[in-house]
Amino acid sequence: MPDGRGAAGTLRRRRQGKASRAQFVAQRAVRQDGRRSPGQAEIMARAILKIVGNAGSYARVLLLPFLQGPEEILVGGQAVIEGVMMRSPHSFAVAVRRPNGSLAVTQDFLNRPSENHPWFKYPVLRGLGVLGQALVLGIRALRFSAEAALEDPQAPVAERGTGKKAELSNWLLAANLIFSLGFFIVFYKFLPLYLATVVRNRWTPAENLIVFNLVDGMIRILLLLGFLFALAQLKDVSRVFEYHGAEHKVVWCFEKFGRADVASARGCTRFHPRCGTSFLLVVMVIALALYLFLPFQSFAAKLLARLALLPVIAGVSYEFIRFAAKSQGLLWRWASWPGLWLQRITTREPNDAQLETAIKALETAMEMEKSRGGELVVA
pLDDT of residue 327: 65
Number of Cβ within a 10 Å radius of residue 180: 10
Residue 2 pLDDT: 47
Q: What is the pLDDT of residue 264?
A: 93
Structure confidence at residue 61 (pLDDT): 36
Predicted confidence at residue 190, as pLDDT, reads 95
- Does some domain include residue 221? yes
Note the Cα 20 to chain centre separation in Å. Answer: 28
**pLDDT at position 38, please?**
46
Instruction: Report how far residue 206's alpha carbon sits from residue 202's, in angstroms, rounded to the nearest whole number.
Output: 8
pLDDT the model gives residue 303:
93
Q: Is residue 233 part of a domain?
A: yes
Q: Give the whole-angstrom CA distance, residue 33 versus residue 25.
A: 13
The whole-number pLDDT of residue 372 equals: 75
Q: Is the dihedral of CA 341, 347, 352, 356 positive or negative?
A: negative
Collapsing DSSP states into helix, strand and coil, what is residue 375? strand
Q: Tens-of-pLDDT digits for all 379 residues of the chain?
A: 544 333 334 434 443 443 344 444 344 443 444 444 445 445 444 544 443 444 433 333 333 333 333 334 457 888 998 999 998 888 899 999 998 889 999 999 888 888 888 888 888 888 888 888 888 888 888 888 888 877 665 555 444 444 444 444 577 777 878 888 899 899 999 999 999 999 999 999 988 888 998 999 999 999 989 998 998 888 888 999 999 999 999 999 998 888 899 999 999 999 987 787 777 888 888 898 888 888 888 999 999 999 999 999 989 888 877 776 666 666 567 767 888 888 999 999 999 999 999 999 999 998 888 887 644 443 3
51 within a domain of the structure (yes/no): no
* Structural domain span for residue 189: 11-37+70-372
- Asked whether the beta carbons of 363 and 262 are under 8 A apart, the reply is no
State how many domains the chain has.
1
Tell me whether residue 332 is in a domain: yes
In a domain, 52, yes or no: no
Q: What are phi and psi of 292, to 5 degrees?
A: -60, -25
57 domain residue, yes or no: no
Residue 4 located in a structural domain: no
**Environment class of 278 (CB within 10 Å of its CB; exposed 0-12, middle 13-18, buried 19+):** buried
